[in-house]
Amino acid sequence: MKQKKQIKPKHFTFYYLPVLLMALTGLADSIYLSISHYRVYTDISYKSFCAISKAMNCDTVSQSDYAIFLGLPVPLLGVLGYLLFFIITAFSYRDVNGSCSEVNRKIGLDYCSIDNGADKDVKGKKRGWHLLFIISAAFSAYSVFLAVISNYYIHSYCIMCILSYAVNFALLFLTWMIIQRFYKESFFKSLKADLFFIVTDRWLKRINALFIIVVSALFIFFPDYWIKDTSLLTRNLPSGLTEDGHPWIGAENPEITIVEYADYRCFQCGKMHYYLRDLIKSNPDKIRLVHKHFPMDHQVNPLVQEPFHVGAGKMALLAIYASSKGKFWEMNDLLYNIKGDFNVRTLAKETGISAAELVWAVKSKEVKALLNRDMTDGFKLGVSGTPSFEINGELHFGTIPPEILNRFLKKQGRAADPE
């Protein structure tokens, strides 16, 4: 019977360096995604380099509810995961503390029988690789989960996220290869030895304790910058209706009037909504914001030929009816904070308008006529997407040029972000 040919492993460093490189790549990728996630929610003019199309858009993925897990942004969790992986990897190359006989006595394993290849001086002294394999397997499983979410729920992919998926599967393969090449004892006994190494190594024990403290602090103190509460911004601000019946908020005798064409399912609209309201609060006698509806909902907008921003049309109808009851800005704020399906009863409770009236508003021809009027105004002006802003007869898409707002922002000690 032919014996199976054994593969002679190369020097351990040959396998080790790619693992280290992949861990650093994953860490750098997660740091970029964390910064991008923050800027998506806080910088009105930010657009990542990988926001290429509707189907391939990192910003769309960042804007989804699935970008937050356990109260933290998913990319920040990635930073923590790769950092932990890198720390263990860095210590898994050096010699372990203690003699082989001491380790054998404490864990019941022939620790010195591990063959680390050509370097006979480090025989039996490298630990952590079975634990790293488990961690990379968890990373890979989570990658599959996120890919399914992107495909079936977000309907958009993130290039940098795909890079992290590739890194995770590469780490899984590389750690498996190291185990196959250099470790002879059973997997679970080796894992037991790895855990013993992690909790008893003098320096690694201290670093892990510090790591746990940092992670705990993040879960407790990390600011939820992705949550915008505009309800307080509405209070004590003058508001009313223009001569043609459009709701306004801000200055009664403004220096500048901004007319916004917006969609309640549009993430950038919500971001600009919060930004402008904050600006108006700081300049209540200078700036007036006038709201017009332009839902990019295929059910009401002839420019949209396929399902998109589903429900935005109905939300606009609710806001229009709320305006007739003097409750527009309260309803406006509530609608921007809705991520999924909306409940009429909840809106009724929050605004004081009866649920029966809101149900009627969605079906009312009179209310729909007012929505069509707003959209017709937008068509005439050349609006083709949201948010769009009309200032002094000029149309601006997506954001407002900094030079228009800088004179107000400088009074607050800050300048507008460049486009």
Q: Which CATH number goes with the domain that contains 302?
A: 3.40.30.10
Same domain, residue pair 199 and 334: no
In a domain, 295, yes or no: yes
**Predicted local distance difference test score (pLDDT) of residue 308:** 86
In a domain, 418, yes or no: no
Helix (H) or strand (E) holding 75: helix 74-91
Q: Which CATH number goes with the domain that contains 211?
A: 1.20.1440.130
Same domain, residue pair 39 and 168: yes
**Tokens coding 133:** 């394999």
**Tokens coding 353:** 């308008």
What is the three-class DSSP state of 260?
A: strand
**pLDDT mean for each 10 residues of the chain (419 residues):** 60 89 96 94 82 80 87 94 94 62 49 41 64 96 94 86 96 93 83 84 86 93 81 72 92 91 90 85 88 93 88 93 92 84 84 92 93 94 92 88 73 46
Same domain, residue pair 262 and 186: no
Helix (H) or strand (E) holding 55: none
Same domain, residue pair 203 and 242: no
**Predicted local distance difference test score (pLDDT) of residue 119:** 34
The full 3-state SS of 280-313, as one line of letters, equals: HHHCCCCEEEEEEECCCCCCCCCCCCCCCCCCHH
Point out the domain boundary residue: 182, 198, 221: 221
In a domain, 83, yes or no: yes
Same domain, residue pair 111 and 244: no
In a domain, 2, yes or no: no
DSSP line for 340-399:
S---HHHHHHHHS--HHHHHHHHH-HHHHHHHHHHHHHHHHHT--SSSEEEETTEEEESS
In a domain, 419, yes or no: no
**Predicted local distance difference test score (pLDDT) of residue 333:** 87
The predicted model scores a pTM of: 0.76
Residue 301 CA to residue 309 CA, distance in Å, equals 10
Are the C-beta atoms of 275 and 44 separated by less than 8 Å? yes
In a domain, 141, yes or no: yes
Same domain, residue pair 175 and 276: no
Same domain, residue pair 213 and 300: no
Host domain of residue 44: 12-221
Residue 256 CA to residue 405 CA, distance in Å, equals 9
Q: Is 145 exposed, middle or buried (0-12, 13-18, 19+ CB in 10 A)?
A: exposed
Same domain, residue pair 86 and 169: yes
In a domain, 7, yes or no: no
Point out the domain boundary residue: 200, 221, 242: 221
Point out the domain boundary residue: 221, 242, 259: 221
Same domain, residue pair 196 and 237: no
In a domain, 26, yes or no: yes
Same domain, residue pair 178 and 49: yes
Same domain, residue pair 42 and 126: yes
Q: How many domains does the chain have?
A: 2
